[in-house]
Amino acid sequence: MPRGLYVYNSLSRQKEIFEPLNAPFVGMYVCGPTVYGDAHLGHARPAVTFDVIYRYLIHLGYRVRYVRNITDVGHLEHDADEGEDKIGKKAKLEQVEPMEIAQLYTDRYHADMERLNVCKPNIEPRASGHIIEQIEMTQQLIQKGYAYEVNGSVYFDVEKYNQLYRYGILSGRVLDELEAGAGNERRQLKQQTEKKNPHDFALWKKANPEHIMQWQSPWGKGFPGWHIECSAMSAKYLGERFDIHGGGMDLLFPHHECEIAQSNACFGKIPAKYWLHNNMVTINGQKMGKSLGNFITLRQFFSGKHPLLEQPYSPMTIRFFILQSHYRSTLDFSNEALKAASKGYKRLMNGLKYIKSLSFSAPESVSPQEKHLLEIEEAIRQFYQAMNDDFNTAVAIAALFQMLKKINQLFVGQIQPSLLGEDGFNKLKNYFITFTEDILGLLEEKPMYPEKAIQLAVQHYAEAKQAKNYAKVDEIRAHFKEMGLVLRDMKDRIEWAYDEN
RNA sequence: GGUCUUGUGGCCGAGAGGCUAGGCAGAGCUCUGCAAAAGCUUCCACAGCGGUUCGAAUCCGCUCAAGACCUCCA
């Protein structure tokens, strides 16, 4: 299909043609969750975004190795001096093993992602399973003179690195200016650390005796620093240089900046060729995040149990909602927007369900009109063009609705399949299904009753209708409504569909 | 204080110098026991003020507003 995929590279701040280092292979690393709480809408965004990128690359014929990590150690709660990590803190509160917490939330994350129809990554490495790799990388950095040990902790020497390379290449920061505007409080805090320089970041942290998560290292007992896991694990599974590194925009600095510094100092190359960052989900115009406490978990969306939610929103509604905006724009949460997404999604699914049930037939009397074929091909072109333009799913979905229009015209019998011609019909059907299901990952959320039971009820409805027993008819309609379904009386038949309200 | 981004119709959300985005909502028509759905038609825009241009929502400047990062965060 159409070649020429362009992606926005945060490193160059512009769109670049996507050319893998070793086509047809593509290595993609995306920063996954820290598993100490349930995933919220903000976690769904990168998961869905990079899921579609993954699916599209595969669709284009690339052989993708997708690595998404699980952070189950190492992220510090306040600042490095406190030396308490998030997983450990929660575990102490709940009197369980830290790994139990990590396991629990990993499982819950997996379940949530499955409901969102997010593909599993090919490799999902855990930080705790790669302590050795992280220690080795830290040792190498010490050997090369880019890291130093103080009291059982090891820090990356940003000043030293910046002499040869440029710290800030990704985020556009200049080292000398970094500290300039920092408030007094922060400056005082930073001066108390054992770091040579406030910008230096931990590769390895010494653990206090009461600290539960700790491992033996050449520098005593401790745990890995904030950023080293991604450098160590991406290098292990994708090589020292790979194609795509993704994550949320809030990770751009310092996380990804530090990753680049570490990996570059260690291996002499910037780890990824393309750096892709999704924008934030906002709520009342503000970033949805853990620290602000203004987040709504995915489970709360699915159940509707949150004060801000007027109703539950299904996983596919959430997915569709995310895909309706471009991944580099902020996406504002509101009940109105979600409800609109829900309706749009269901309309799309009704079309999908119908076109799947339809096959081409051509009575001799009707001959195809080229106009239809051209319109179908135009929509297909628009879809690819949109996806090739930095994965513009919003425009891609607009193309899908163009195709839906044709499907609905078939549905109400305004046009016949034969009018599209066999080629036109097959293109409409096959591309619509491929685009919707395979690339965008939007699936029907099937009713909880088997198709056969529903067909039986449809029959009863038809009979009541025939007998003009309108009381019965209305009763059956009400039952369908309860199931989230509706009945549609067509001229020549009766169909059931998903209720769009 | 620094770096950066954004401001589009009732709501959400694309686009990016001249050509319909799209979804949801609203109005009308067709269809219908009543519906529902769909189709067709239709209303409603580019924060403000200047400038560049034959032409600006799109480029430049200023003003106002909102937000992100500089600390763990997707």
Question: Cis omega (within 30 of 0) on the bond before A24?
Answer: yes
Residue A249 token pair: 């925009």
pLDDT of amino acid A145: 95
How would residue A197 be classed by pLDDT, with cut points 50, 70 and 90? Answer: confident
Q: Measuring CA to CA, how many Å separate A76 from each of A33, A87, A106, A310? A: 14, 9, 19, 36
Task: Give yes or no for residue A392 having a pLDDT over 60.
Answer: yes
CA distance A13 to A8: 7
How would residue A378 be classed by pLDDT, with cut points 50, 70 and 90? Answer: very high
Question: Residue at minimal CA–C1' distance from B72?
Answer: A77
> Which CATH architecture best describes the domain A6-278?
3-Layer(aba) Sandwich (3.40)
CA angle A56, A57, A59 (to 5 degrees): 60
pLDDT tens-digit readout, A312-344: 999 999 999 999 999 999 999 999 999 999 999
pLDDT tens-digit readout, A172-183: 888 877 654 444
User: Which bases of strand B have any atom within 7 Å of the beta carbon of a protein residue?
Assistant: 1-4, 11-16, 21-25, 31-40, 66-74
pLDDT tens-digit readout, A421-450: 999 999 999 999 999 999 999 999 998 889
Going by C-alpha positions, the residue among A116, A112, A139, A140 that lies closest to residue A38 is A112
pLDDT of amino acid A1: 47
pLDDT of amino acid A336: 92
Do the beta carbons of residue A318 and residue A301 sit within 8 Å?
yes
Nucleotide nearest residue A283, measured CA to C1': B67
Nucleotide nearest residue A382, measured CA to C1': B21
pLDDT of amino acid A183: 43
Q: What are the sequence ranges of the domains in chain A?
A: 6-278, 298-439, 451-498
**pLDDT higher at A187 or A120:** A120
Residues A254-260, mean pLDDT to the nearest whole number: 95
Residues A28-37, mean pLDDT to the nearest whole number: 94
- Distant-in-sequence, close-in-space partners of A441: CB < 8 Å, separation ≥ 6: A48, A51, A52, A55, A117, A118, A119, A319
How would residue A365 be classed by pLDDT, with cut points 50, 70 and 90? Answer: low
Taking the CA of residue A468 and the C1' sugar atom of nucleotide B5, their distance in angstroms comes to: 62
Share of chain A above pLDDT 90, in %: 75
Nucleotide nearest residue A292, measured CA to C1': B73
**Average pLDDT of chain A to the nearest whole number:** 90
Question: Residue at minimal CA–C1' distance from B70?
Answer: A178
Nucleotide nearest residue A201, measured CA to C1': B71
ipTM higher than threshold 0.90: yes
- Distant-in-sequence, close-in-space partners of A3: CB < 8 Å, separation ≥ 6: none
Residues A219-228, mean pLDDT to the nearest whole number: 92
Residues A469-497, mean pLDDT to the nearest whole number: 90
Q: How many CB atoms lie within 10 A of CB A309?
A: 16
Task: Give yes or no for residue A191 having a pLDDT over 70.
Answer: no
Helix or strand (DSSP H, E) at A192: none
pLDDT tens-digit readout, A280-305: 999 988 999 988 889 999 999 999 99
Taking the CA of residue A76 and the C1' sugar atom of nucleotide B58, their distance in angstroms comes to: 45
Taking the CA of residue A335 and the C1' sugar atom of nucleotide B11, their distance in angstroms comes to: 10
Taking the CA of residue A388 and the C1' sugar atom of nucleotide B14, their distance in angstroms comes to: 15
| Top-tier CATH class for A298-439 | mainly alpha
Please give the single-letter amino acid code of residue A273: K
Task: Give yes or no for residue A81 having a pLDDT over 90.
Answer: no
**pLDDT higher at A24 or A189:** A24
Give the β-pairing of A25-30 and A242-248: parallel
In degrees and rounded to multiples of 5, residue A163 shows phi and psi of: -70, -40
